[in-house]
């Protein structure tokens, strides 16, 4: 087991290194001088030279790479060009709406998807199953920003239950801020529930056909106990995996949803960074999100290793 | 050919298999209908998608304007049809581009043991980035244009294809006929193309259909955010982004392009599901 754990840690470090490399390379594929692109057409040669110096673009590529890795290891993701503050501070300032949006959407998605997925597998082929499977596929076809606008039109514009955008402005109480998250979280939660439903159903189907489920039934155990105690318990690990990975991927949904609802979160920060070509900020965001994904993946693998002694890496 | 067909050895073709699954068939027909509508846009609609008619702006749906008019008085129905051209073309181009990279990487990783670990780790690292996030970062670096959106999304989806290709190649590599070809001295590139790639078409086709669906959604997202295709070119995403500003006065501007996206993506998913069920029975156990 220790050996497997070490193998996995080693593998994760390699992937992390590759992630940092990809993030470093992305900005280097810019045609022309990134400093000139960032400053726009009105910049003077001196401004560009100044920025090149600040970004360390005058060093050779390998040197730049080494100093970039060094910075990342020290937790220094560079300076945002437009906000004029460290990238980590910029991301941290915007973390709250994104954090709660992710948590709430995940809760909504799980509350819908777990029971629906389990029942769908249990009543496989029934009308319920067909309806649930079709609905999940339908939900996976809806662009999240469009669903957000539809909700906004109905609940905010027509009924006036919510503000159409923002996060309550400065000095808003926690309750007011959360009120602004209701529509975005429902939007994102409904759409993410599609993936989790499908996965829960598939994992349950896998387990429901296993020998121990048949054994449990033949012992005369009640159906409820068979499904919940035996089947669901065993299907839970793959389901948790998907929920964990969905959490990391929700940031992608947050980018679009935050923009729709004008939430000052990490997602909308990334969009404005892209529009302003604030490369250090884009790089920092990429690194944090991909890093979280790799980390969640790694933690799940470790959990498997602990929970299931047969697993070896 | 007729003799072969009569002898009964010939497998029923793809279309006939599709016909046995009504949902997949319906998906296929809708996709074809969407493509035909987009192609025949000038024949179907009497309006020019760029024709301004400011006096007619923000008209609700009517017999003259089936889907209403937008902020500049342009016919929304016509623009939905023309947008289909861009959105479907971009989606398809992404599939082609992603397939080229994905198949190459997957074959290399699956066939050559030495390349497996490095290529697989690269795939893992690429898959750590959420699709929209990596795509907007790439578009930001490359510059916003339709071509660069295709490149960015192609790079984003290639690793998923590579994973599928690698997994299948690992199995095919060990099959007797590959071994036989090797023993006969068939050059490796020929083995790769003629014996391995040919047997990969089923999983590849299934995956490509789903990537087509995802690419249409992702392109719409990028265009909506204003970080993809130029707002002057009508796509379903840019139309929704315009409609967003008139949510209270003219919600139909964003209703219909959204509907077009849903119909197209849903049909592609139905086709993909159907294809998977009969091309790859191992994966179909949950149906």
Please say whether the beta carbons of A120 and A134 come within 8 A: no
Question: B7 falls in which pLDDT band (50, 70, 90)?
Answer: very low
DSSP A27-55: HHTSSS-HHHHHH-TT--HHHHHHHHHHH
> In this model, does residue B287 exceed pLDDT 70?
no
Regarding predicted confidence, which is higher, A214 or A192?
A192
Closest-approach residue (CA) in chain A for B271: A137
Top-ranked range on mean pLDDT: pick from A234-243, B18-27, B88-97 = B88-97
What mean pLDDT is predicted for residues B5-14? 52
Give residues 78 to 137 of B whose Cβ lies within 8 Å of A: 121-122, 124-126, 128-134, 136-137
* Residues of chain B contacting residue A31, judged by C-beta atoms under 8 Å apart: 142-143
Q: What is the DSSP code (8-state) at residue A152?
A: I
Q: What are phi and psi of B154, to 5 degrees?
A: -60, -45
Q: Is residue B92 part of a domain?
A: yes
Question: A312 falls in which pLDDT band (50, 70, 90)?
Answer: low
pLDDT value for B11: 55
> In this model, does residue A257 exceed pLDDT 70?
yes
In tens, the pLDDT along B38-78 reads 888 788 877 777 777 777 777 788 777 778 777 777 888 88
Q: Is residue B22 part of a domain?
A: no
Q: Is residue B74 part of a domain?
A: yes
In tens, the pLDDT along A52-66 reads 877 777 777 888 888
Q: What are phi and psi of A79, to 5 degrees?
A: -110, 135
pLDDT value for A162: 77
Flag if A30 and B142 touch (Cβ within 8 Å). yes
The neighbour count for residue A293, using CB atoms within 10 Å, is 22
Q: B138 and chain A: CB distance < 8 Å anywhere?
A: yes
Q: Which of B124, B143, B261 comes nearest A143 by C-beta?
A: B261
Q: B265 and chain A: CB distance < 8 Å anywhere?
A: yes
Flag if B224 and A30 touch (Cβ within 8 Å). no
pLDDT value for B40: 83
The answer for residues whose C-beta is within 8 angstroms of residue A271's C-beta and 6 or more apart is A255, A259, B136, B225, B227
Neighbour-count burial of A109, counting CB atoms closer than 10 A to its CB (0-12 exposed, 13-18 middle, 19+ buried): buried
Q: B50 and chain A: CB distance < 8 Å anywhere?
A: no
For chain A, give the number of residues.
313
ipTM of the complex: 0.84
The answer for residues whose C-beta is within 8 angstroms of residue B110's C-beta and 6 or more apart is B116, B165, B166, B167, B168, B169, B170, B172, B173, B196
Question: B4 falls in which pLDDT band (50, 70, 90)?
Answer: very low
Tell me which long-range contacts B255-259 makes (C-beta under 8 A, separation of at least 24): B255/A150, B255/B67, B256/B67, B256/B76, B256/B77, B256/B80, B257/B76, B257/B79, B257/B80, B257/B83, B258/A142, B258/A143, B258/A146, B258/A149, B258/A150
In tens, the pLDDT along A101-141 reads 988 999 999 999 989 998 898 888 889 998 998 899 999 99
Please say whether the beta carbons of A133 and A202 come within 8 A: no
For B126-142, give one letter per residue: b (16+ CB within 10 A) or e: bbbbbbbbbbbbbbbbb
Regarding predicted confidence, which is higher, B4 or B38?
B38
What mean pLDDT is predicted for residues A272-296? 87
Q: Is residue B268 part of a domain?
A: yes
Q: Which pTM value belongs to this model?
A: 0.87
Question: A237 falls in which pLDDT band (50, 70, 90)?
Answer: confident
Mean model confidence pLDDT for chain A: 83
Q: B30 and chain A: CB distance < 8 Å anywhere?
A: no
Q: Is residue B261 part of a domain?
A: yes
Q: Is residue B17 part of a domain?
A: no
Structure token digits, residue A62: 């390998």
Q: Is residue B174 part of a domain?
A: yes
For each of the domains in chain A, give its residue range(s) and CATH number, in order of start: 2-92 (no CATH), 95-264 (1.10.3720.10)
What mean pLDDT is predicted for residues B135-159? 91
Q: Which of A29-33, B162-166, B258-262 has the lowest mean pLDDT?
A: A29-33
Flag if A22 and B142 touch (Cβ within 8 Å). no
pLDDT value for A294: 87
DSSP chain B: -HHHHHHT-SPPPHHHHHHTSHHHHHHHHHHHHHHHHHHTHHHH-SS-TT---GGGTTPPS-SSSTT-B-TTS-BHHHHHHHHHHHHHHHHHHHHHHHHHHHHHHHHHHHH-HHHHHHHHHHHHHHHTS-HHHHHHHHHHHH-SSHHHHHHHHHHHHHHHHHHHHHHHHHHHHTSHHHHHHHHTT--HHHIIIIIIGGGGHHHHHHHHHHHHHHHHHHHHHHHHHTSSS-TTS--HHHHHHHHGGGTTT-THHHHHHHHHHHHHHHHHHHHHHHHHHHH-GGGGGG-
Q: How many structural domains is chain B composed of? A: 1
What mean pLDDT is predicted for residues B146-160? 93
List Cα–Cα distances, B254 to A91, A254, A258, B224, B259, in angstroms.
Answer: 31, 20, 18, 11, 9
What mean pLDDT is predicted for residues B245-262? 87
- Nearest one of A255, A256, A247, A235 to A195, comparing CA atoms: A247
pLDDT value for A27: 79
What mean pLDDT is predicted for residues A185-209? 87
* Residues of chain B contacting residue A157, judged by C-beta atoms under 8 Å apart: 247-248
Question: A205 falls in which pLDDT band (50, 70, 90)?
Answer: confident
Mean model confidence pLDDT for chain B: 84
SS3 A86: strand
For chain B, give the number of residues.
287
pLDDT value for B196: 86
Flag if A252 and B286 touch (Cβ within 8 Å). no
Neighbour-count burial of A24, counting CB atoms closer than 10 A to its CB (0-12 exposed, 13-18 middle, 19+ buried): middle
List Cα–Cα distances, A104 to A247, B66, B178, in angstroms.
Answer: 10, 39, 52
Please say whether the beta carbons of A257 and A144 come within 8 A: yes
* Residues of chain B contacting residue A277, judged by C-beta atoms under 8 Å apart: 140
* Residues of chain B contacting residue A293, judged by C-beta atoms under 8 Å apart: 128-130
* Residues of chain B contacting residue A205, judged by C-beta atoms under 8 Å apart: 285-286
Q: B282 and chain A: CB distance < 8 Å anywhere?
A: no
Structure token digits, residue B60: 């609700």
Regarding predicted confidence, which is higher, B280 or B167?
B167
Q: To 10 degrees, the CA torsion angle through A94, A95, A97, A100?
A: 180
* Residues of chain B contacting residue A273, judged by C-beta atoms under 8 Å apart: 140
CA distance B7 to A69: 66
CA distance B244 to B223: 13
Flag if A252 and B266 touch (Cβ within 8 Å). no
**CATH number of the domain bearing residue B102:** 1.10.3720.10
What mean pLDDT is predicted for residues B175-187? 86
Q: From the candidates B22, B30, B87, B129, which should be mutated to test the interface with A, based on the most A CB atoms within 10 A?
A: B129
Q: Which domain holds residue B58?
A: 52-284
In tens, the pLDDT along B191-236 reads 888 888 888 888 888 899 999 999 999 999 999 988 888 888 889 9
pLDDT value for B178: 84
For residue B240, give how far its alpha carbon lies from the nearest alpha carbon of chain A (Å). 7
Closest-approach residue (CA) in chain B for A149: B244
Flag if A271 and B136 touch (Cβ within 8 Å). yes
Q: Is residue B185 part of a domain?
A: yes
DSSP A277-290: T-HHHHHHHHHHHH
pLDDT value for B8: 43
Regarding predicted confidence, which is higher, B287 or A171?
A171
Flag if B286 and A146 touch (Cβ within 8 Å). no
> In this model, does residue B180 exceed pLDDT 90?
no
Regarding predicted confidence, which is higher, B231 or B111?
B111
* Residues of chain A contacting residue B132, judged by C-beta atoms under 8 Å apart: 252, 255-256
Q: Which of A144, A251, A294 comes nearest B133 by C-beta?
A: A251
List Cα–Cα distances, A10 to A161, B196, B215, in angstroms.
Answer: 51, 32, 33
CA distance A268 to A192: 19
pLDDT value for B269: 92
Q: Which residues are bridge partners to B69 per DSSP?
A: B75
């Amino acid at each position: 087991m220790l050996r497997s754990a070490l193998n996995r840690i080693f593998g994760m470090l390699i992937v992390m290194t590759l992630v940092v490399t990809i993030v470093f390379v992305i900005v280097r594929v810019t045609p022309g001088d990134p400093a000139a692109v960032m400053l726009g057409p009105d910049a003077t040669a001196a401004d560009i030279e100044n920025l090149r110096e600040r970004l360390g673009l005058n060093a050779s590529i390998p040197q730049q790479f080494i100093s970039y890795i060094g910075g990342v290891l020290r937790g220094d993701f560079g300076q945002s060009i437009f906000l004029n503050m460290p990238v980590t501070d910029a991301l941290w300032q915007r973390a709250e709406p994104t954090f709660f949006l992710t948590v709430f959407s995940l809760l909504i998605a799980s509350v819908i998807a777990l029971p629906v997925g389990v029942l769908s597998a249990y009543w496989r082929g029934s009308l319920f199953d067909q309806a649930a499977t079709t609905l999940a596929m339908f939900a996976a076809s809806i662009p999240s920003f469009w669903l957000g606008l539809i909700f906004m039109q109905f609940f905010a514009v027509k009924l006036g239950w919510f503000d159409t955008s923002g996060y309550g402005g400065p000095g808003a109480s926690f309750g007011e801020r959360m009120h602004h998250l209701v529509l975005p979280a429902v939007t994102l939660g409904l759409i993410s529930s599609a993936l989790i439903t499908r996965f829960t159903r598939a994992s349950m189907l896998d387990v429901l056909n296993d020998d121990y489920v048949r054994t449990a039934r033949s012992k005369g155990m009640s159906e409820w106990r068979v499904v919940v105690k035996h089947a669901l318990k065993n299907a839970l690990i793959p389901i948790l995996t998907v929920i964990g990975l969905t959490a990391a991927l929700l940031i992608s949904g947050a980018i679009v949803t935050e923009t729709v609802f004008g939430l000052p979160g990490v997602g909308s920060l990334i969009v404005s960074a892209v529009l302003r070509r604030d490369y250090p900020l884009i790089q920092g965001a990429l690194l944090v999100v991909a890093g979280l994904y790799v980390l969640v993946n790694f933690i799940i693998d470790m959990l498997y290793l602990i929970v299931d002694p047969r697993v070896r890496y | 050919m007729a003799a072969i067909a009569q002898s009964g050895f010939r497998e029923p073709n793809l279309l006939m298999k599709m016909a046995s699954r009504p949902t997949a068939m319906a998906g296929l027909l809708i996709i074809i209908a969407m493509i035909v509508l987009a192609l025949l846009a000038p024949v179907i609609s009497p309006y020019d998608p760029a024709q301004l008619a400011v006096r007619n702006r923000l008209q609700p749906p009517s017999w003259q304007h089936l889907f209403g008019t937008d902020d500049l008085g342009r016919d929304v129905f016509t623009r939905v049809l023309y947008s289909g051209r861009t959105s479907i073309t971009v989606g398809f181009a992404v599939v082609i581009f992603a397939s080229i990279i994905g198949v190459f990487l997957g074959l290399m990783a699956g066939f050559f043991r030495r390349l497996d670990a490095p290529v697989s780790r690269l795939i893992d690292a690429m898959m750590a980035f959420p699709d929209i996030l990596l795509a907007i970062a790439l578009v930001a670096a490359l510059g916003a244009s339709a071509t660069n959106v295709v490149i960015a999304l192609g790079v984003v989806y290639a690793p998923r294809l590579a994973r599928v290709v690698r997994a299948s190649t690992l199995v095919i590599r060990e099959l007797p006929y590959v071994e036989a070809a090797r023993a006969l001295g068939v050059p490796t590139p020929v083995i790769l193309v003629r014996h391995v790639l040919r047997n990969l078409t089923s999983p590849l086709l299934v995956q490509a259909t789903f990537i087509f669906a995802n690419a249409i959604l992702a392109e719409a997202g990028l265009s909506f955010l204003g970080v993809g295709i130029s707002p002057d070119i009508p796509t379903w995403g840019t139309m929704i982004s315009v409609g967003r500003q008139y949510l209270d006065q003219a919600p139909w501007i964003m209703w219909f392009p959204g509907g077009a996206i849903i119909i197209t993506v849903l049909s592609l998913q139905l086709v993909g599901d159907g294809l998977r069920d009969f091309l790859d029975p191992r994966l179909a156990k949950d149906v």
